[in-house]
Structure 1
Amino acid sequence: MITSINPATGQELARYGFQSDAEIDTALAAASEAQAIWRFRPIGERVGLLTELARVLRTNKAKYAALITAEMGKPIVEAEAEIEKCAVTCEFYVEAAPRFLADEIVASNATHSAIVYDPIGVVLAIMPWNYPFWQFFRFAAPAFAAGNGAVLKHANNVPQCALAIQDAMEEAGCPAGLFSTLLIGTDKIAGIIADERIAAVTLTGSTEVGAIVAAQAGKALKKQVLELGGSDPFIVLADADIEEAAKVAVKARYINVGQSCVNAKRFIVEDSVADRFVALFVDGVRALKVGDPTERDTHIGPMARANLRDGLHDQVERTLAAGGTCKTGGKPVEGPGFWYEPTVIDNVTPDLVAFCEETFGPVAAIVRAKDAEDAIALANRTEFGLGAALWTRDVEKASHYARRIDAGAVFINGMVASDARLPFGGIKRSGYGRELGAHGIREFTNIKTLWIGPVKAAPASDTKPRKDTTS
Structure 2
Amino acid sequence: MKNTVKSINPFNNELLQEYKLFSDQQIAQVLQQTASSFSKWKKEPIDDRAKLLSKVGKLLELQKYKFAKLITQEMGKPLVQSITEVEKCAWVCEFYAVNADDFLCDDLIETEARESFISYDPLGCILAIMPWNFPFWQVLRFAAPTLTAGNTVILKHAANVSGCAMALEQLFEEAGYPKGCFQVIIADHQQVESLIENTIVKAVTLTGSEKAGRHIAAIAGKNLKKTVLELGGNNACIVWEDADLDAHVKTMVNARMLNAGQSCIAAKRFIVVADIYEEFIAKFQQQVQLLHQGDPMDPETDISVLARPDLADIVAQQVTDSVAKGAEVLIGHKKDKAYYAPTILTKVTPDMPVFKEEVFGPVAAIIKAKDREESLALAANTAFGLGTMLFTQDLKAARHCIDQIEDGAFFINEMVKSDPRLPFGGTKASGYGRELSKEGILAFVNKKTVYLH
Identify whether the pair has TM-score above 0.5, normalized to the shorter chain: yes
For 1:185-264, what aligned pairs fall within 5 Å after superposition? 185-264=188-267
Q: 2:341 matched to 1:341?
A: yes
CA displacement, residues 346-370 of structure 1 (integer Å, 9 cap, x when unaligned): 1111111100010000101001111
Among 86, 89, 94, the alignment partner of 1:91 is 94
Secondary structure, counterpart of 1:235 in structure 2: strand
Do the aligned residues in 2 keep the contact of 1:128 with 1:154 (CA within 8 Å)?
A: yes
Matched with 1:404 is 404
Structure number, greater radius of gyration: 1
Counterpart of 1:439 in structure 2: which amino acid?
E
CA contact (8 A) 2:10 2:308 kept: yes
2:417 aligns to what?
417
For residue 105 of structure 2, the aligned residue among 102, 105, 111 is 102
Where does residue 451 of structure 2 map in the other structure?
451
What percentage of residue pairs aligned between the two structures are identical? 47
Check whether the contact 1:68–1:79 (CA below 8 A) recurs between aligned residues: yes
Q: How big is the shift at 1:9?
A: 1.1
The whole-number CA distance in structure 2 between the counterparts of 1:25 and 1:46 is 26
- Give the match's secondary structure for 2:365: strand
Q: Counterpart amino acid of 2:332?
A: G
393-402 or 83-92, larger mean C-alpha shift: 393-402
Q: CA deviation at 1:110?
A: 4.8
1:110, 1:332 → 2: CA distance? Answer: 68
Q: What is the deviation of 1:59?
A: 1.5
Aligned length: 450
RMSD: 0.9
Distance in 2 between residues matched to 1:58 and 1:413, nearest whole Å: 30
SS of 2:423's partner is coil
CA distance in 1, matches of 2:120, 2:244: 45
Contact 2:113 2:451 in 1 (8 A): no
2:274 to 254, 265, 271: 271
Residue 159 of structure 2 aligns to a residue whose secondary structure is: coil
Match of 1:326 in 2: 329
Match of 1:19 in 2: 22
Task: Describe the superposition over 1:156-175 as per-residue Cα deviations: whole angstroms up to 9, x where unpaired.
Answer: 01111111011101101110
The alignment partner of 1:273 has SS state of helix
CA apart distance, 1:51: 0.8
Question: By how many angstroms is 1:243 displaced?
Answer: 2.1
Quote the offset at 1:35 in angstroms. 1.0
C-alpha deviation, 1:58, in angstroms:
1.2
Matched, 1:51 2:57: no
CA contact (8 A) 1:390 1:402 kept: no
Q: Secondary structure at the match of 1:74?
A: coil
Flag structure 2 segments of 5+ consecutive residues without an equivalent.
Answer: none
Indicate if the aligned counterparts of 2:347 and 2:368 stay in contact, CA closer than 8 A.
yes
1:168 aligned residue = 171
Deviations 1:174-224 (A, max 9, x none): 101111100111221110000000000000000011111001111111110
Give the TM-score normalised by structure 2: 0.98
2-structure distance, mates of 1:402, 1:73: 36
Which residue of 2 is the match for residue 156 of structure 1?
159
Kindly state the Cα deviation for residue 390 of structure 1 after the two structures are TM-superposed.
0.9
Tell me how far 1:250 sits from its aligned partner.
0.6
The answer to whether the aligner puts 1:130 opposite 2:137 as a matched pair is no
**Matched residue of 2:291: which SS?**
coil
Q: Which letter maps to 1:127?
A: M
Extract unaligned runs of 5+ from structure 1: 454-471
**Alpha-carbon contact 2:315-2:361 (below 8 Å) kept:** yes
1:451–1:109 Cα change, 3 Å:
closer
TM superposition score normalised by structure 1: 0.94
Q: Following TM superposition, by how much is the alpha carbon of 1:71 offset from its aligned partner in structure 2, in angstroms?
A: 0.4
Question: In structure 1, how many angstroms separate the alpha carbons of the residues matched to 2:305 and 2:329?
Answer: 21
